[in-house]
Amino acid sequence: MFEFRKSVFALALAAGIGGVAGALPAPVAAQTIKAVMHSDVKILDPIWTTAYIQRNFGYMVWDTLFAMDEKFEVKPQMVEKYDVSADKLTWTFTLRDGLVWSDGKPVTSEDCIASIKRWAAKDSMGQKMMASVASLDKVDDKTFKMKMKEPYGLVLQSLGKPSSNVPFMMPKKTAETDPNTQIKVEDVIGSGPFVFVANEWKPGEKVVFTKNTKYKPRSEAPSGLAGGKVVKVDRVEWIAMPDPQTQIAALQNGEIDMIEQPSTDLLPLLTKDKNVKLVEFNPLGNQYVMRFNQAFKPFDNAKIRHAVMVAFGQEDFLKATIGNPKYYKVCKPVFICGTPLASEEGMKDVLNQNAAKAKELLKEAGYDGTPVVLLQSTDLQVLTNLAPVAKSQLEAAGFKVDMQSSDWQSVVARRAKKDPIDKGGWNLMLTSWVAADILNPVMAGFFNASCDKAMFGWPCDPEIEKMRDAFSKESDPAKQKQIAIDLQKYWVDHPTHVNLGQWYQPAVQRTSLDGMLTAPVPVFWNMTKKK
Amino acid sequence: MLDFIARRLIAIIPVLAVVAIFVFLMLRLTPGDPAAVIAGDNATSDQIAMIRGKLGLDLPIWQQFAIWIGDMLHGNFGESFFFKKTVVELIQQRLEPTLALSICTLIIAVFTAVPLGVLAAYRQGSWIDRIVMGFSVLGFSMPTFVIGYILIYIFAINLGWLPVQGYVRIGVDFWQFLERMVLPSITLAIVYIALLARITRASILEVLNEDYIRTARAKGLSTRVVLMRHALRNAAVPILTVIGIGIALLIGGAVVTESVYGLPGLGRLTVEAVLSRDFPTIQAVILMFSVVYVVINLLIDISYTLFDPRIRY
């Protein structure tokens, strides 16, 4: 590939030192996909952290009991069959035949029970489910029962949760690790489609996975994160490459096969190159969100928060950050457009950028002109331009805004602290959610309104919590949807956050790569690579 | 001499103490919480607080400092907050690329800049002198990452001679190692060449008017011998000083160059550690760079005696 090397080798051959090497048979090259992911893998425990790179890592190595398909339906994955008793108080799960860990030991129901417990100790949806669980009991090596204190409607949605924290099944010994302690490198043993090659893991350089030859895929065709996880390459390498310009150059030069999240600024460059293609693998995309800090004035007042919803219009945010309309969508429903719970009900009078109406509301609510502190992240390209747009729309509505800029990690640290505004606290911050994390009111962290137990912003609203509880206990999809609509209508007047539109991030691949599945997570099974 | 070296080595201790206190306080007093970074975007306040407790970040600053210093005195530089590896292991893993980059850069820089500087001085005012000085200004003014992108565009994308990025360990495949070192080393060397060429030219010009140069010429020695044996040797002390000072330039440049070329070295480790607020790693890497800087300058001071017999310690 590289002329320099060819020249040096030619010189070596001319000098007569390459003759022996020339006589050796060429080794059969393993089919390897080299991909640059959105971040380097530093932590190996997808339960310990909610970071997306660990979730992606988890899908390579571990498997799940259930998984969500392309149509957002939860399908059995490691589970062969399951049933629920007539009183909906006992769930019985039976594992598929032939499931083994990569060290050769069989996957047992005890492994799964321990894994569910560890996941549920960390994940908010898991915590909610476990509040209704009376016991988890082994029946035999392949079967276990989950007995409920009361009927719970989100058992399958919880166990088939597609995004962080995903309930990955781990060996009992690993799953018994304290949920607040990272698992050890040597404990990264999964029953998923790939095997993590620990001795080739070099943080900051690469993570290596090989095909798990012991893995037994389901017989169904792959769909989303469900179905048969058939691995069609020998090896996958995630290369750590922080510089976006270098990533593109390496892709064009054929040194890597894929970039999970190419910089949106550089996409026009790529569309001109015949050897690369854009792949929109995640049609759900992401949602921009502004979060209120409800622990302090003025956003402890629901009317003032509602005024912000009236003042805002989504398109300016999307234009300023994404630019190309192909990669964004104005979407008023708070649950992702195109998913079962999306509805326009209650949204007619908000998100229309109506500054005059917002001014009136502010006056009625008694806003006293105290500046509000708006945090701006300056180093994440997809977030940087949100804050100036928010500032401009808020000021048009009569707010006084003190926009404070810092790098993203400082924003993350600051938003987690419940300090008063004059002691380094904050009023508003902007972020983005992966759509797969916010598909229903229980899953969506920003709807958690349980005061101090809620995420940063600390909303405290018993009515929202009541509706979330009702949603979690309902198993009829039509009734669930009605609860979600009622919640949305209530939330418009008592917002915990404001949704600012959806955006999409295509991956970019060499044309030699094919078979990437449509899913909320980039997965590598089903992918093929032409020689 | 031994007395001098011993005194200089002992002088490292207060330097390191000051660096340690400064780095520790700087990290604790600037905004950023490693626990919030580790916990991820969807974490609750309780989860973040729990991680903070696990990492010992909820202890008073003086207590954290005492624990860190105590551990260091026992040879324990701590464990990275993120990697579940000791900082020493991480540094060992990342040392080779940075060391290779630095050595290749130094070789390219010294063997290019010194002859260019000597030539420019010898031909003072000529077109060669102007080109060398023009290159110096350009090399000094252009940011390292811009040089990197230009070289990648020409030699990797357009000509396809060299790879864009990556690192292959020298023990794995020497040719691939060399291929991947060429562009980063040249990128980093350019600013160094610019600096060294200017200093070499100035130093040589100073000694070219000395009596002993005139005597050497009068003896009928060739220009090469006059320049290399008499002029350059006497001009070596300021050149060596600049090479020593330039080590700091090299460390700073390595951070950018390693990011542009995807080299998994200490420069990138530092950037990653700073961005994720990995306190133990940042502290250890900065302390290590300080030791390297002090030791290299000590070696430079010792090397003066080889070029100037009047210098004795």
* Partner residue opposite A204 with nearest CB, options B159, B268, B277: B268
pLDDT at A160: 96
Residues 147-166 of B with CB under 8 A from A: 149, 152-153, 156-157, 159-166
pLDDT (mean) for B49-78: 87
Residue of A nearest to B83 (CA): A42
- Cross-chain residue pair B272–A204, CB shorter than 8 Å: yes
How far does the CA of residue A80 sit from the closest CA of chain B (Å)? Answer: 31
Q: What is the pLDDT of residue A10?
A: 42
Q: How far is B83 from chain A (nearest CA, A)?
A: 5
What mean pLDDT do residues A407-419 have?
82
Contact, B260 vs A242, CB < 8 A? no
pLDDT exceeds 50 at position B213:
yes
Q: Which residues of A touch B54 (CB under 8 A)?
A: 180-181
- pLDDT for the residue A215: 95
Reported CATH class of domain B93-307: mainly alpha
Q: Compare CB distances from A409 to B37, B93, B164 and report the shortest one's residue.
A: B37
A23 touches chain B (CB under 8 A): no
In A, which residues are within 8 Å of B149 by CB distance? Answer: 245
A 400-439 → B contacts, CB under 8 A: 406-407, 409-410, 412-418, 431, 433, 437
Asked if B45 reaches chain A (Cβ–Cβ under 8 Å), the answer is: yes
A356, HSE (Cβ side, Cα atoms, 13 Å): 0
Record: fold of A286-503 = Dipeptide-binding Protein; domain 3 (3.10.105)
> Taking the domains of chain B in order of start, what are their residue ranges?
93-307
Average pLDDT, integer, range A86-103 = 96
Average pLDDT rounded to a whole number, residues B10-27: 88
pLDDT averaged over every residue in chain B: 88
Q: Name the residue facing B45 among A202, A253, A416 (closest C-beta).
A: A416
DSSP line for A327-348: GEE---SSS-TTSTT---TT-T
Q: Which residue has the tokens 């600037």?
A: B30
- Please state, for a pLDDT cut of 90, what percent of chain A lies above it: 76
pLDDT of A4? 42
Cα Rg, chain B, nearest whole Å = 24
Average pLDDT over residues A229-247: 94
Contact B156 A242 (CB under 8 A): no
Are the Cβ atoms of B160 and A1 closer than 8 angstroms? yes
Interface residue A383 vs chain B (CB under 8 A): no
Residue B64 CB-density burial (10 A; 0-12 exposed, 13-18 middle, 19+ buried): middle
User: Nearest-CA distance from A56 to chain B in Å?
Assistant: 14
pLDDT of residue A42: 82
pLDDT at B42: 66
Q: What's the CA gap between A152 and A134, in Å, rounded?
A: 11
CB B205 within 8 A of CB B132: no
Q: Is A203 within 8 Å of B54 when comparing Cβ atoms?
A: no
Percentage of chain B lying above the pLDDT 90 cut: 40
Contact B157 A4 (CB under 8 A): no
The answer to whether residues A270 and A324 touch, using CB atoms and an 8 Å cutoff, is: no
Contact residues on chain B for A205, CB-CB shorter than 8 A:
167, 264
Using a CB-CB distance cutoff of 8 angstroms, which residues of chain A are in contact with residue B93?
202-204
Contact between residue A195 and residue A85 where contact means Cβ atoms under 8 Å apart: no
B258 pLDDT above the threshold of 80:
yes
What pLDDT, on the 0 to 100 scale, is given for residue A29?
65
Separation in Å, CA of A455 to nearest CA in chain B: 5
More confident residue, A93 or B271: A93
- How confident is the model over A486-497, as a mean pLDDT? 97
Confidence band (pLDDT; 50, 70, 90) for B300? confident
Lowest mean pLDDT among A250-259, A386-395, B1-10, B17-26: B1-10
Q: Tell me, what's the pLDDT at B281? A: 92
Give the pLDDT band of residue A28 (cuts 50, 70, 90). low
Chain B partners of A288 at a C-beta cutoff of 8 Å? none
- Residue A6: which pLDDT band, with cuts at 50, 70 and 90? very low
Q: Which residue has the higher pLDDT, A459 or B310?
A: A459
Q: What is the pLDDT of residue A3?
A: 44
Of A232-246, A261-275, B128-142, B198-212, give the lowest mean pLDDT range: A261-275
Mean pLDDT of B147-158: 94
Which residues contact residue A487 at a Cβ distance below 8 angstroms, ignoring those fewer than 6 apart? A441, A447, A464, A467, A468, A471
Question: Does residue A298 have a cis peptide bond before it, meaning omega lies within 30 degrees of 0?
Answer: yes
B88 touches A at CB < 8 Å:
no
> pTM for the whole thing?
0.83
- Beta-carbon separation of B31 and A410 below 8 A: yes
User: Does B27 score more than 60 pLDDT?
Assistant: yes
Instruction: Return all residues near A134 (Cβ < 8 A) that are at least 6 apart.
Output: A147, A148, A149
Q: What is the predicted pLDDT for the residue at A21?
A: 39
Averaged pLDDT for residues A117-137: 93
Interface touch B32/A409, C-beta < 8 Å:
yes
Residue of A nearest to B50 (CA): A180
Residue B75 has pLDDT above 90, yes or no: no
Is the Cβ of B264 closer than 8 Å to some Cβ of chain A?
yes
The ipTM, to two decimals, is: 0.78
For residue A182, list chain B residues with Cβ-Cβ distance below 8 A: 84
Q: In this model, does residue A19 exceed pLDDT 80?
A: no
Task: Mark yes or no for CB contact A406/B31 under 8 Å.
Answer: yes
- Among the partner residues A51, A250, A431, nearest to B164 by beta-carbon distance: A250
Q: Tokens 């007569």, residue?
A: A16
Tell the residue number behind the tokens 């060399």, with chain if given: B178
Does A229 have pLDDT greater than 70?
Answer: yes
Residue B254 has pLDDT above 90, yes or no: no
Amino acid at A311: A
Confidence at A351, pLDDT banded by 50, 70, 90? very high
Q: Which of A270-279, A399-408, B105-114, B229-238 has the lowest mean pLDDT?
A: B229-238
Roughly how many angstroms between the first and final C-alpha of chain B, as a whole number?
A: 5
pLDDT of residue A20: 39
pLDDT at A120: 94
DSSP per-residue string spanning B7-71: HHHHHHHHHHHHHHHHHHHHHHHSS--HHHHHH-TT--HHHHHHHHHHHTTTS-HHHHHHHHHHH
Mark yes or no for CB contact B40/A42 under 8 Å.
no
Q: Are A106 and A140 in contact (CB under 8 A)?
A: no
CB B39 within 8 A of CB B47: yes
The whole-angstrom separation of Cα A361 and Cα A357 is: 6
CA distance, residue B149 to nearest chain A CA (Å): 8
Interface residue of B38, B58, B151, B164 to substitute, partner A, most A CBs within 10 Å: B164
Token output for B98: 């940075």
pLDDT of res. A150: 92
**Phi, psi angles (nearest 5°) of residue A508:** -125, 135
- Residue A194, by phi and psi: left (phi above 0), alpha (psi -120 to 50) or beta? beta
**End-to-end Cα, chain A, rounded Å:** 14
A-chain residues within 8 Å CB-CB of B262? 239-243, 246, 250
pLDDT of residue A16: 38
Chain B CB within 8 Å of residue A453 CB: yes
CA A175 – CA A181 distance, rounded (Å) = 11
Distance of CA B70 to the CA centre of its chain: 29
B275 vs A376, more confident: A376
Q: Is the dihedral of CA A465, A466, A471, A475 positive or negative?
A: positive
Residue among B261, B114, B249 nearest B193 (CA): B114
Contact call for A50 and B37, based on CB within 8 A: no
Give pLDDT, residue B252.
Answer: 78
